[in-house]
Amino acid sequence: MASNVLDSVLFRDAFGTPAMRAVFDDHELIRKYVIVEVALAKAQARCGVIPEAAAQEIAQRCNADTLDFDLLRHETEIVGYPILPLVHQISKQAGESGGFVHWGATTQDIMDTAVVLQIRDAFELIEQEIKTLRGTLAGLAKRYRTTPMAGRTHLQQALPVTFGYKAAIWLDMFDRHQERLDQARPRILVGEFAGAAGTLASLGDKGLEVQKALMEELGLGVPVSTWHVARDGFAEAVNLLALMTGSLGKIAYDVMLMASNEFGELYEPFVKGRGASSTMPQKRNPISSELMLACAKGVRQQAGLMLDAMVQDLERATGPWHAEWIAIPESFILSAGALHQANFMLSGLIVDEQAMARNLDMTKGLIVAEAVMMGLAPYIGRQDAHDIVYDACRIVNEKGGRLADVLNAMPNVADRLAPELIERLTDPTNYLGMAPEMVDQVLKSSASRS
């Protein structure tokens, strides 16, 4: 039985996805190790370092699927790393050519390069989810471009916005994340082959040639320098995920707040029984949002661990390298889980426009006090207009009524602004600013990045 949520029968598909778990499961990781070892043999044969016949035999006979995994696990516990036990087994598989397996390599070369291959696969899954999410958010922004609602600052009604404007802000974040992912790939998807202390000394003058040939075999970038202890690439990968899930956490927080009974403006898709309470039949909890927020917090913790793991000693690290083995798989699985939950939730998001309108009107015009102040300011100056409207707002707060009626009853306002103008100024739907145009800008920008 599993002992954590990522592998739990109960929770694994809430916090992750089968596809991302498959990228990082033990069998796939070991398969990647074998892929790198075989590619190394092929590259060395190309460069004349080992016989071509040996490389062919290694490629034909080395097979991750037929390894003795129990023996591999047992020997890994003894050695502390899986590569030496793996080399023992695949050398036997390779028969007479087994002596050429792992030629001139070091454990970290194989492990680091295998992780890069995993990250390459994982980035493909992340990108698919982001593209789906961007399409969903673009649809929400366009559909609700002019749907007015209360904008809130410090959890208080501030000024009117539109729900499309809010969705466009969410979309713009993920347009930038897509751009970051595109820009990060060349920096991160770089293989490692440098030998014991990173100098490729065991291969003489063939070291850099073999390194380049290996990366060509694997379709990875060629390192400019050894990165055994320069871990900024892997740290960037996980911190990029932290940025993405941080944005998902923001969306989740908004949805959870707006789904509260006091707001009632948004609801997650209805699925019978989802979000139900064991004691309160009326409950409809925002489960996907809660999971998105939890995943974001988990990835943030691992991003910090990756930054800490960058501080490595001399030419080969002690414990910091091992910390990456914890952080990288968990970060990708949690990120995939959060994106999957976001796509489910937002694709079926229920938007209650009537509730938005009702909440927008609940302050009886106070939400657009700024509009009245700016309308009055040309006649009496901004500060005096502020003070007058402030007094009017206090009356509404203390005695009730509509802001428009209170203003019409104040001589220093009524003498300057006609009742029809006051009515227009205190209608929140007339004070949306450039929100719809900002939606248009984001949609145009997003389309150009697709």
* Residue 12 · residue 21 · CB < 8 Å: yes
- Residue 154 a catalytic site member: yes
- Cα–Cα distance for residue pair 158/165, rounded to 1 Å: 15
Determine contact, residues 271/348, Cβ cutoff 8 Å: no
Q: How many helices (H) and strands (E) does the chain have?
A: 19, 4
Q: How many whole angstroms separate alpha carbon 163 and alpha carbon 152?
A: 12
- How many degrees, rounded to 5, is the angle at CA 268 between CA 264 and CA 270? 110
| Contact between residue 144 and residue 168 where contact means Cβ atoms under 8 Å apart | no
* Secondary structure E strands in 122-177: 148-153, 156-162
Q: Which of 154, 225, 278, 448 is catalytic?
A: 154
Taking the alpha carbons of 387, 393, 399, 401 in that order, is the dihedral positive or negative?
positive
Please indicate whether residue 277 is annotated as part of the active site: yes
Identify residue 445 by its one-letter amino acid code: S
- The closest of 181, 185, 182, 178 to 133, measured between CA atoms, is 178
Angstrom CA distances, 244 to 77, 131, 354, stand at 35, 13, 32
The three-class DSSP label of residue 207 is: helix
Q: Which residues pair with 150 in a beta bridge?
A: 160
Burial class (CB in 10 A: 0-12, 13-18, 19+), 273: exposed
Active-site position among 202, 260, 277, 450: 277
Rounded CA separation 125/127 (Å): 5
Active-site residue set: 154, 277
